[in-house]
Each structure stands twice: as structure tokens, then as C-alpha cells.
Amino acid sequence: MDAVEKQENIKVPIFHNRNFVFLLISALFSSPGYYVYLIGAEWLMLSITDNRFYFGLLFFVAAIPRLILLIVGGIIADRVNKRTILFWSDFSRAVLIGILVVLIITDQVAIWHLLALSGLFGISDAFSYPAMNSLIPNLLEDDQLQRGNSFIQMTNQISPILGPALGGTLIALLGFEGVFSVAFVMLLLSAIAVLFIRLKHLETDEDEKHTPLADLKEGFQYARKKELIISVVVMALFLNLFFSGPIAIGMPVIVKDVFNGSAVSLATIQTSMGIGALAGAILLASWKLKSPGKTVILGLIGLGLAFSTMGLSSNIWMMAGLVALMSVLTQVVNIPLITMLQQTTEKRMLGRMMSMFMTVSTGLTPISYIVTSSLIAAGISIRVIIVVSGVVVTAIAIYSFRNKKLLGFKLSQGRESL
């Protein structure tokens, strides 16, 4: 476990906690930088090929290495200084985007370049996600976790506001060279901010050496005892099949193919996503949940209904409003779930539990991407796909009212067993 330099036995307010503040600053650059890159990559792919299968493949090739390596990322997060992992994650992304800028300037960029870059970003995500989410409980007290997670989400969700808005504007004014150059600088600044987090070397038990395989086995044995988490991630497994692919692929395709929109139109939709997610994070930072499980289920029901309605949108602005609502509800679901996991997991196991949670809960995401792309390629309207997917999400959420473990969970001031 990482030892954090903070005053012993004194609870430091969140914004007086130097390490947590630098983590927020890093996220403030990293997430917008990623979204600036993402809107550039999406629009570049749509511009260089009319085959929408390749557009869906852009998401698929990122999801596959992320899924495969998440468990490895969790094991490493429990063994290695988490600051080091976060630094190399952002720094390597900056270098990759720099290479893309050179390819664009020399007019050599091709479909396979974008797909390769997407895959490498997926690898980076597999290591940064468990490191970030297992680092937060080492910086904050247990009763600060919901607020801390909410503030991190606020910082991250400024990204879909600033990122797409800045990205769409840069594409219009400076072209793809401009948008990717800005993404390069922002990710580089994020990597630098991480270096100001003061963490000591990873503390390990010198008398007991574990192999990665033993660590993995220990992680699975630990997870088997967490009945609540198992039930939650199984539900999330199926939800992601019907939500992640249609929403990620559906938004750009509807904007371009249904509404004949531009990069600025796509930026408008993605900005509304950021505004909604930011509003949801602010809500969760100030709202102490008495029944987080019930809140999660009600949020999922609303999410499914809003998603189906989005498929019937008549214009960009209606779609933007529904996307904003879905983003609020997504935060209402995600933040309590992450907080539950952090509060009920020993710190030495946090990296593995976070990676397992994401691996299982997003296990069908790559399939969702490829199925959605294939359905579109087969001539099925993206609107039909979204409406049906929303109905299924709603049905799964309603069925979750049978889950007594989830409904009965109460957030505590300290750690407790499930």
C-alpha cells in the first residue's frame, strides 16, 4: 500500500490535502486532453472513410486490450507506486498523439494508424484506471470518499465540456494538426502535475513474496466473499452490452448521418454530456445518500427511459438535452457504486478489486461495439438499435429491485464487511 505524507491522526480537509489537489489538477488536464484527442480521432476517421464499420472498430480495438490487461493493471497498482503508473500513462499518451501529429503533417495518416493508436490508448487505460481509483482511498478518509469521488468526477466531467468544445473549434479553425497538438500539450501537463504528488515507495511485506499469479488468485478469492459487488457487476455486465456500444457509436452516427451535422454539432452533443455529468457529480458531492442501492436502481430506470427517447430525437438540441439527462443519471449510478467498493475493500486489495470491477462490468463492451457496428452495416437503423437497447436497460433495472443486497446497503463512516 502506498504511504501518503499527511498529518497523523488528523483529518485533513479535502482541499487542504496537497496530494489530492494535485490529483485533481492532473485530472483537469488529462481528461479534457483525452476528449480533445477523441473528437479529433472520431471526426478524422469519419472524414477519411465512408465505411462506418471502421468507426465502430475504433472503439472495439481500444476496448479489447483494456479488457484483457485490466487485471494485470490492478495487480501492478497493488505492487507499484501509483503515481508512477499515472505519470507514464499520461506521458505515453502524449507521445502517441505527437506521433499522430507528425503523420498528419506529412499527409501519411491512414485508417490503421488511428486503429493502432486507439489500441495503445486502451492499454494505457488498463493501467491508469485501477491506479487512480485505488489511490483515492489512500489520500482520503473513509467518510470523505463519496465527496472525493464526486470531486474527481467533477474534474473529469469538465472534460466533455471543454474537450469537445475546444476540439470542434480547433478542427474548424486549425484543422486536425491543431486539435491533436492541443491534446498533446494537455496530456503532457497532466503527467507533470502527477509528479508533485508525494508518495513513498510501495510498502510490501518483505517476509512474504507473492508471484503475480498468486496475487491474482488472492484477488479472486477475496472478491468471492463480496456478494454485493458480485451481484452489482453481473448486472452491469449485461447493461454494458446494451448501452455502451449504442451510445458511443450512436451519437456521432446520428449527428452525421441522420441530422447531417458537422464536427461542431458533435461537439455540442458531447459538451451536453459533460454538462450533465458535471451536474451529477456536483449533486453527489452535496447529497448524502441514505439508500445508495435504491438510488442506483432508480437512476438506471431513468437512464434506460431517457436512452430510448434519445433514439427518437427530432433534432440536435433535443438529443443534447437527453444526453445531458443521461449523464446526470450515469453519475447517480456510478459514484455510489465506486464508493461502495472502496469502503468495503482493504487498501492492499484496492487495485485488484477496482480492476476486477471494471473488467467484469465492462466485459461485454467490446462485443457491444462490434455488434452495434455490424447491425448498422447490415442496414438496421441506429435509431431502432438505441430504442430497443433503452427498453432492455430499463427492464434489467426494474428486475434489480429483487436484489436485496443492493437495496439494503448503507454507506458507513468506516470499512465494514459485506
The Cα–Cα gap between 86 and 24 comes to: 13
Does residue 88 sit within a domain? yes
Q: What is the CATH number of the domain that holds 46?
A: 1.20.1250.20
Query: Do 326 and 310 form a contact (C-beta atoms < 8 A)?
Result: yes
Does residue 414 sit within a domain? no
pLDDT recorded at residue 309: 93
pTM: 0.69
Q: Which domain holds residue 315?
A: 14-200+221-408
Does residue 278 sit within a domain? yes
The Cα–Cα gap between 361 and 15 comes to: 31
Does residue 121 sit within a domain? yes
Does residue 5 sit within a domain? no
- The closest alpha carbon to 24, from 209, 154, 160, 162, belongs to 154
Query: Do 406 and 231 form a contact (C-beta atoms < 8 A)?
Result: yes
Query: Do 142 and 415 form a contact (C-beta atoms < 8 A)?
Result: yes
Does residue 191 sit within a domain? yes
pLDDT recorded at residue 88: 92
The Cα–Cα gap between 85 and 101 comes to: 25
The sign of the CA dihedral 400, 404, 405, 406 is positive
Q: Cα–Cα distances in Å, from 17 out to 9, 67, 218, 225, 305?
A: 14, 33, 32, 33, 40
Does residue 25 sit within a domain? yes
Does residue 7 sit within a domain? no
The Cα–Cα gap between 160 and 36 comes to: 9
Which residue type, as a one-letter code, is found at position 163?
G
Query: Do 21 and 149 form a contact (C-beta atoms < 8 A)?
Result: no
pLDDT recorded at residue 364: 65
Going residue by residue through the chain (418 aa), what tens digit of pLDDT does each one get?
Answer: 444 443 444 556 777 778 888 888 888 888 888 888 888 888 888 778 777 677 777 777 887 888 788 888 888 888 888 888 989 999 999 999 999 989 888 888 888 888 888 889 888 888 888 888 788 877 877 666 777 888 887 776 666 666 667 777 778 887 788 888 888 999 999 999 988 887 655 444 444 556 767 777 777 777 777 777 677 677 777 777 788 888 888 888 888 888 887 777 887 887 788 788 888 888 888 777 777 878 888 999 999 999 999 988 888 889 999 999 998 998 888 888 777 777 777 777 777 777 777 776 665 677 787 888 888 888 888 889 999 999 998 998 898 888 777 777 766 544 433 4
Q: How many domains does the chain have?
A: 1
